[in-house]
A and B are shown apart, each in its own frame.
Chain A
Amino acid sequence: QSVLTQPPSVSGAPGQRVTISCTGSSSNIGAGYDVHWYQQLPGTAPKLLIYGNDNRPSGVPDRFSGSKSGTSASLAITGLQAADEADYYCQSYDSSLSGSWVFGGGTKLTVL
């Protein structure tokens, strides 16, 4: 059971907009810690997609955007493309017990 909760799967047709949620608690997202997002294409290492809730690293298209509110965060992908089919993970810091860096369980995006 992951500390950050994501839907196991989402899907959308090419050109559509999809969102992936990431729900935490008062010891992580709700405590003010930033949320970051990673994209993992099949058979490859994760890649940083969004950092600091809503910032894109150089080279990431503006079709990808992030937001955070309260104890949750969201990743939005507009103009869906076949190449976007991947697993997406949110990540934050959790201050409970000894503290640790935590990931969501991951969301599989299928482009129909």
Chain B
Amino acid sequence: EVQLVESGGGLIQPGGSLRLSCAASVFTVSSNYMSWVRQAPGKGLEWVSLIYPGGSTYYADSVKGRFTISRDNSKNTLYLQMNSLRAEDTAVYYCARVLPRPSDHFDYWGQGTLVTVSS
């Protein structure tokens, strides 16, 4: 059974940094399109970042220049490095696998990890 397990969330002060991890099982992270999606408390889903198998990366305007998506092939793990965190980054962060056909959709999701940015 496909599993995505996020970790690394927690309470962090504004301006701080945090790295989220997403460990995958059954499939290979590096061979798939992978993404991060977040959900602020009581709000809807917001796409954050996506990485292609070839390594191309994409970011929402709200996080561009502050967040970096990456992966470790040896650990079959996806990461999200978050710098210069703001209160508005407070959310549950989900990692998800993306299937590109018929067009990009998120077929498997992790359980999420909560990031709280507050002093």
Q: State A102–B62 Cα separation when bound (angstroms).
A: 13
- Shortest distance between the CB of B7 and any CB in chain A (Å): 14
Instruction: Chain B residues near A100: list those with CB within 8 A.
Output: 47, 58, 60-61
State the interface size on chain A (CB cutoff 8 A). 29
A/B pair count, beta carbons within 8 Å = 66
Q: Is the CB of B102 within 8 A of A105?
A: no
- Contact residues of B with A, CB < 8 Å? 35, 37, 44-47, 50, 58, 60-61, 94, 99, 102-112
A100 and B99 alpha carbons, distance in the complex (Å): 15
Partner of B44, one of A45, A57, A97, A106: A106
Assembled-state Cα–Cα distance A36/B112 (Å):
20
Given contacts A34-B102, A36-B105, contact A46 B60 (CB under 8 A): no
